[in-house]
Amino acid sequence: MNAKTATSARRKSGARSREAKLKTRPPGTESPQANAESRKSDLEMTRFADWMEPMAATLTQERFTGPEWIFERKLDGIRLLAFKNGREVRLLSRNRLPQNDAYPAVVDAVAALPVHDAILDGEATGVWGKPGRVAYHVFDILWLDGRIVASRPLDERRALLAGLRLEPPLQRVAALNDPRPWERACQEGWEGVIAKRRDAPYEHRRSPHWLKMKCEATQELVVGGFTDPQGGRVGLGALLVGYFSGDDVVFAGKVGTGFDTRLLRELRARLDRIEIAKPPFTKGTGLPRRAHWVRPELVVQVAFIEWTAHGKLRHPRLLGVREDKAAREVVRETP
């Protein structure tokens, strides 16, 4: 083997080793160095893309901040990818439907951008087809002047986007600097916020590197039972909760998140003392076959996204125990 062949073999071996290391990292922990490896493909793809699958956010019940994350307002509009190739502009929805006729002002503004070719990702809000009444909120860039930039870290893509002069109805989505941005979202009537990892590439899938925190409703509920823990969990699996409607106790669903280990153990000990043989729920469907039933005395505060059509809590999480509330006072709250 000559020196040139040996060098080539070492490079291939090193690439395979790096790839293996990346596959073993848990989601959300890829380093900027790992992302830098994938940037080598930027110069390799020179043909303008006809389509790119948009990155989707994963819903989370957790609330957190950290230096490795940025937060943006979650907009309630139409997801649009804007493809500019010379003077030709195509607006495509998430499911690849053409939207040029619906947003002519956006088409004109994208066509006027001072670059030859680009692919933007964003959300359109406003009234369809009425110039001056819409806005295209741009939050990412996937392609710029002959190069795919989707594999670059988010911070780099945001820097590229900041270098583009956007004219109305194009608007750049700003990062939020609030210490608890999800609370601001709910106070201002937004749909929620999106947390994005600064070092993550743009992925053409639903990704754990984009997490959506939706604004939540809260409701006091009475505990009528619980399930056993599974795997390494201790105490209990989920609380079975409901509310009073006259003399009936209506089953509203299961709450399985929002606990720490200490609370799981404390609740189990407390609920064991009021266990009964039969379920206290007299209305509602979907009761688990295997569960422990308790007298409906303990009141908890629960956050959730919405009530389903079947009267169940969607994505509930425990906020805490309400020692100041009598169980018989717990009814389903209405706006």
Tell me which residues are annotated as active site: 74
C-alpha R_g of the chain: 26
DSSP three-state, residue 183: helix
CA distance 46 to 313: 49
- How far is Cα 107 from Cα 118, in angstroms, rounded to an integer? 13
Query: Which amino acid is residue 193, in one-letter code?
Result: V
Neighbours of 132 (CB within 10 A): 10
Residue among 235, 204, 226 at smallest CA distance from 296: 226
Find out whether 137 and 34 touch, Cβ atoms under 8 Å: no
Give the whole-angstrom CA distance, residue 182 versus residue 213: 7
Q: Are 60 and 213 in contact (CB under 8 A)?
A: yes
Q: How many CA atoms lie within 13 A of 70 on its CB side?
A: 15
Q: What whole-number distance in Å separates Cα of residue 306 and Cα of residue 313? A: 6
| 3-state helix/strand/coil string of 92-122 | EECCCCECCCCCHHHHHHHHCCCCCEEEEEE
Structure tokens belonging to residue 12: 């291939």
Structure tokens at 332: 């389903």
Q: Which residues, 6+ apart, have CB-to-CB distance to 275 below 8 Å?
A: 292, 293, 294
